[in-house]
Amino acid sequence: KKQVPHDKSLDNTIDLLKEGYLFIRNRVDKYQSDIFETHLLGQKVICMTGEESAKIFYNPELFYRKDATPKRVQKTLFGVGAIQSMDGEAHIHRKNLFMSLMTPSYQNQLAKLMMDKLLDSIKVWENKEQIILFDEVNEILCRVVCQWAGVPLKESEVKERAEDFSLMVDSFGAVGPKHWKGRRARIRTEEWIKGIIEDVRSGNIKVEEDSALYAMTFYRDIDKNQLDSHMAGIELINVLRPVVAISTFIVFEALALHEYPQSKDKLLSGDKDKLKMFVQEVRRYYPFTPLLGARVKKDFIWNECEFKEGMLVLLDVYGINHDPRIWNNPDKFCPERFRERNDNLFDFIPQGGSNPAKGHRCPGEGITIEIMKASLDFLVNKIEYDVPNQNLSYSMAKIPTLPESKFIISNIRRKS
Ligand code: HEM
């Protein structure tokens, strides 16, 4: 009988912090096994990679999400008790609300707003010696998503609000002072949005009925109750924060254009299919989501491994996006690979796997792709710029990661 490899060290928490995105992949290579057991944060954990593992992971008969995410991540990234840790009918009911805000028509509205605001920024950027792309795009996305969602945002508060959104994301893999920065950012943001929900309920703020703010404020859950204003705020933040987080992928787009100038030439026509292929390859190639966690619902055996009720199981998202059984030359950046490709629901999972309406897969992929396409078109076809000497390397140990310099560009001109 095949033995499931046990990673020998007493507790691998420190190694996870040191190896980051490559933690699971390194051990899968070492043990030549898609699945292994280890100890993390004082508990026995199963780690797994590969398409077949993704299929198992998204079987709701076998796994649940409540208590799968450490409290420290809920207190920074997700919000305590939000959709990410719900299960069953109540989850699907709330998921429908999110799905209804992510339709193609909303995707296009957001992409158009993004392009308009990027174009508006040119006149400011032209007069600056250089800009930090990440910081600029972060603020622009904050304006875009608040305007789209119906959330009032004063020009004087854009900078701080945008920074708070990115602190919540930036701190989720952190310990110590950075973790606390993320927690304070979440507390400030929750207070702000809760106040806005209350103003809508009391009629102090008028809001369009087809906006995300309206939808969250008046949503009734499976028991027909409105969410309290704090919870409604947390879920609205679950729409606002991830849109702002697309700035990470936009920086990776700029990095890819810089590192692979030959693929830039193919985008000069602005052809939508080519933009999309490039966007898909950025989402596959660069590290953003490292892994996902769920807990075992009832005892079962799979691949000769015993899954025990309540055990934490981690799925290797980064590794599956670089799995040589799924991708030829996975460590090569090659948008062309998406020309002929028919993805299934489990073999290309930068934002989770399976069907988003039925499980926890990200509902925001369409929005992410359209905003990334607009931003890519902008970088290639609307401006010219120089990339001065800087440290563009990104750490594979830091979760989430970003090029050190956050991508500085200089000498920005409108393309004629
Ligand atoms: C869930 C990644 C953008 C809203 C997720 C999950 C991942 C993910 C990995 C978890 C999947 C799972 O647990 O099985 C990303 C990345 C993004 C992004 C890398 C790029 C910036 C967005 C956008 C929105 C969004 C733009 C909304 C406008 C959500 C929500 C969930 C989620 C609400 C929770 C779904 C659930 O638990 O059912 N995302 N996402 N995300 N994402 Fe995204």
Q: What are phi and psi of 340, to 5 degrees?
A: -105, 5
How far is the centre of ligand 1, averaged over its atoms, from the C-alpha of 265 (Å)?
Answer: 31
Half-sphere exposure of 271 (CA within 13 A, CB side): 12
pLDDT of residue 199: 98
Q: 296 pairs with which residues across the strands?
A: 63
**Closest Cα to atom 15 of ligand 1:** 351
pLDDT of residue 156: 97
pLDDT of residue 2: 62
Candidate of 100, 351, 354, 372 to mutate for ligand 1, largest count of ligand atoms within 8 Å of Cβ? 351
Tally of CB atoms within 10 A around 152: 12
Ligand 1 atom closest to Cα of 349? Answer: 9
The Cα–Cα gap between 100 and 348 comes to 23
pLDDT of residue 3: 78
Distances, alpha carbon 89 to alpha carbons 60, 198, 345, 346, in Å: 11, 27, 21, 23
The Cα–Cα gap between 126 and 412 comes to 5
For the entire predicted model, the pTM comes to 0.97
**Closest Cα to atom 25 of ligand 1:** 364
Share of the chain above pLDDT 90, in %: 90
- Alpha-helical regions (H) of 260-342: 261-265, 272-285, 317-320
CB 275 within 8 A of CB 9: no
Q: Report the pLDDT averaged over residues 313-327.
A: 97
Q: Report the pLDDT averaged over residues 395-414.
A: 97
Q: Report the pLDDT averaged over residues 320-326.
A: 97
Give the tokens for residue 147.
């305007």
pLDDT band for 274, please (50, 70, 90 cuts). Answer: very high
Q: Indicate whether 1 pLDDT > 60.
A: no
pLDDT in tens, 4-37: 898 877 788 888 888 999 999 999 999 999 999 9
The Cα–Cα gap between 152 and 336 comes to 41
Map tokens 């697309």 to a residue: 246
pLDDT of residue 8: 75
Ligand 1 atom closest to Cα of 65? Answer: 13
* Buried b / exposed e along 72-96 (16+ C-beta atoms within 10 A): bbbbbbbbeebbbbbbeeebbebbe
Ligand 1 atom closest to Cα of 101? Answer: 28
8: buried, middle or exposed (CB in 10 Å: 19+, 13-18, 0-12)? Answer: exposed
The Cα–Cα gap between 221 and 215 comes to 12
How far is the centre of ligand 1, averaged over its atoms, from the C-alpha of 373 (Å)?
Answer: 18
How far is the centre of ligand 1, averaged over its atoms, from the C-alpha of 293 (Å)?
Answer: 14
The Cα–Cα gap between 403 and 287 comes to 11
**Residue 231: strand, helix, or coil:** helix
Give the tokens for residue 271.
């052809």
Q: Report the pLDDT averaged over residues 204-228.
A: 97
Map tokens 């981690």 to a residue: 314
Beta strands 300-302 and 312-315 are unpaired
**Closest Cα to atom 16 of ligand 1:** 351
For residue 132, how far is the Cα from the chain centroid? 21
The Cα–Cα gap between 342 and 327 comes to 12
Peptide bond into 60 cis (omega under 30): no
pLDDT in tens, 342-388: 889 999 999 999 999 999 999 999 999 999 999 999 999 999 999 99
Ligand 1 atom closest to Cα of 356? Answer: 38
Ligand 1 atom closest to Cα of 85? Answer: 37
Residues 6 or more apart in contact with residue 315 via CB below 8 angstroms: 48, 49, 53, 54, 57, 291, 292, 293, 294
Ligand 1: list residues with CB < 6 Å.
83-84, 95, 98, 238-239, 242-243, 245-246, 249, 288-289, 292, 350-352, 360-364, 367-368
**Closest Cα to atom 38 of ligand 1:** 360
Ligand 1 atom closest to Cα of 246? Answer: 21
pLDDT band for 328, please (50, 70, 90 cuts). Answer: very high
For residue 342, how far is the Cα from the chain centroid? 22
Q: Report the pLDDT averaged over residues 155-162.
A: 97
Task: Give the chain's mean pLDDT.
Answer: 96
Task: Say which DSSP state 91 is in.
Answer: H
CB 229 within 8 A of CB 197: yes
Ligand 1 atom closest to Cα of 91? Answer: 38
Closest CA to 151 of 102, 187, 200, 190: 200
Q: Indicate whether 330 pLDDT > 80.
A: yes
Closest CA to 410 of 380, 395, 388: 388
The Cα–Cα gap between 186 and 75 comes to 7
Query: CA-based angle 314:319:323, to the nearest 5?
Result: 130
Candidate of 64, 151, 362, 370 to mutate for ligand 1, largest count of ligand atoms within 8 Å of Cβ? 362
Distances, alpha carbon 408 to alpha carbons 15, 314, 403, in Å: 32, 35, 10
